[in-house]
Amino acid sequence: MKNRIEEIRNQRGIRQEDLARQMQVSRQTISSLENGRYNPSILLAHRIAAYFGMTIEEVFIFDEEE
Amino acid sequence: MYNNNRRIVLDILWIILGLILIGLSIAEVLDSSLYSGMGGALTAVGAVNLARAMRYKKDAGYRERIDTEAGDERNQYIRMKSWAFAGYMAVLLEAAGSVAAAAMGKTQIQLTLYFCLCLLLVLYWASCMIFSRKY
């Protein structure tokens, strides 16, 4: 599943460490999410979207073919 | 998130148990170097874990890092996947080892591996039953 975490994070000048601290996950988790190596749970996806003040669909791009 | 007090009690118990084993070995109640080695290992593990637990109690930064690592969902996912893979590999290796032992005529090894394989499969089956009811 693709996502716009890195793009939105860079737009807002948030560091990976700070986003990780806010989401109560490790920086490696944020890095893996941004690289598309790891898909988050619905809870983490919701937390990230809520932190950015967006909907899950605006942050995470669901591709049915994947 | 992280039950530190319970860990401290357990670590102290390991140290005490280790010291008892060392003491009994020195007093020659237990006449094997195996027990003194085991006692030394238990004491060392307990001491290292106790030092970590005390640091967790006093160092806020360390505490935050440990809590994050313990609660991090990717870490939990990796741990779960690693256990699943380890179990899967154990089944394959035990099956292969059992067949190889049978071919070499090592009946005792074959039966031990076969028993371990059956135990793992029973545990897997029981886990499937429990989790399919839970979820």
Q: Which residues pair with A2 in a beta bridge?
A: A61
Q: For residues B34 and B75, what is the distance between their CA atoms, to the nearest angstrom?
A: 36
Domain ranges of chain A: 2-61
* pLDDT at residue B34, rounded to an integer: 81
Query: Which two three-digit tokens encode residue B94?
Result: 């035990």
Residues of B in contact with A38 (CB under 8 A): 74, 77
- pTM of structure: 0.75
At residue A65 the predicted structure's pLDDT band, cuts being 50, 70 and 90, is: low
Evaluate whether B73 touches A26 at the Cβ level (below 8 Å). no
* pLDDT at residue B2, rounded to an integer: 61
B43-60: pLDDT as tens digits: 999 999 999 999 998 999
Fold for domain A2-61? 434 Repressor (Amino-terminal Domain) (1.10.260)
Chain A residue nearest residue B71, CA to CA = A25
Q: How far is A53 from chain B (nearest CA, A)?
A: 22
* pLDDT at residue B71, rounded to an integer: 87
A37 in contact with B at a CB cutoff of 8 Å? no
A31 in contact with B at a CB cutoff of 8 Å? no
For residue A18, which of B58, B68, B62, B77 has the smallest C-alpha distance?
Answer: B68
| DSSP codes of every residue in chain A | -EE-HHHHHHHTT--HHHHHHHHTS-HHHHHHHHHTSSPPPHHHHHHHHHHHTS-HHHHEE--TT-
Q: For residues B50 and B60, what is the distance between their CA atoms, to the nearest angstrom?
A: 17
B87-122: pLDDT as tens digits: 999 999 999 999 999 999 999 999 999 999 999 999
Of B126 and B38, more confident: B126
Evaluate whether B110 touches B102 at the Cβ level (below 8 Å). yes
Q: List B residues 81-120 in contact with A (Cβ-Cβ < 8 A).
A: none
Q: For residues A35 and A24, what is the distance between their CA atoms, to the nearest angstrom?
A: 19
Residues of A in contact with B73 (CB under 8 A): 25, 29, 40-41, 43-44
Q: Taking residues A26-35, report their average pLDDT.
A: 95
